[in-house]
Amino acid sequence: MQKEIIIAGFGGQGVLFGGQVLAYAAMDAGKEVTWIPSYGPEMRGGTANCTVVIADDEIGSPLVKNPPLAIALNLPSFDKYEEVLAPGGTLIVNQSMVDRGAKRDDIHVIFVPCNEIAEEIGDKKLLNMVAVGALLTVLNDITLKDVEKALEGHLPARHKHLLPKNFEALKRGFEAAQKMPA
């Protein structure tokens, strides 16, 4: 098994942290993992993305051209990664920041209102965990419990008080994605 994932959005949306959490969850579950961040010079407000590769065996290359899985947290990321997603792949889209439907019919697109769900929980910064929760509906090798455990083990001590809200964001994203038509 090898799963390749790209997470993309604006700087400040938690793109890189979302990828780190997935990587930690997979690593803690005994998988081989690579995580490569990429961001523009502006950081907050500029573009950001990261690539996560999860495998049972050694990973030959951490570079991904046509990922089977992606998260797009804004419209520019949706425009870019919808085009390059592998046929049959799944794209999780932050519906809060995207004002159009999918152009391709050979991929599965799951729209989740990440910003609204995060705001309902009480912290707009949780939109990344909402999206990660949605991704877990199609990433069968990592469970919600795996990601919760990774958050507990790797979240800096100064942010430990945010664990319950992060767990709720994961769960709400997972549930929202499950409600989407297959």
Note the pLDDT tens digit of each residue in 36-90: 888 766 555 567 889 999 998 888 887 888 899 999 999 999 999 999 999 999 9
Number of domains within the chain: 1
In the block, tokens 């599965």 appear at 108
Q: For residues 171 and 164, is the Cβ–Cβ distance under 8 A? A: no
Sort strands 32-39 and 90-94 into parallel, antiparallel or unpaired.
unpaired
Contacts of 34 (CB under 8 A, 6+ apart): 23, 51, 52, 53, 59, 62
Q: Give me the CATH number covering residue 72.
A: 3.40.920.10
- Classify 3 as helix, strand or coil: strand
Q: Are 54 and 3 in contact (CB under 8 A)?
A: yes
User: Which domain covers residue 68, as residue numbers?
Assistant: 2-178
The letter for the amino acid at 110 is I
Measure the CA–CA gap between 64 and 181, rounded to whole angstroms: 28
- Kindly tell me the burial class for residue 142, based on how many C-beta atoms sit within 10 Å of its own C-beta (0-12, 13-18, 19 or more): buried
Contact 49, 72 (CB under 8 A): no
Q: What is the pLDDT of residues 158-168, one digit of tens each?
A: 888 889 999 99
Q: pTM score, two decimals?
A: 0.90
Q: Which of 141, 119, 143, 114 is nearest to 129 (CA)?
A: 114
**The pLDDT of residue 8:** 92
pLDDT band at 130 (very low <50, low <70, confident <90, very high): very high
Q: What is the pLDDT of residue 156?
A: 83
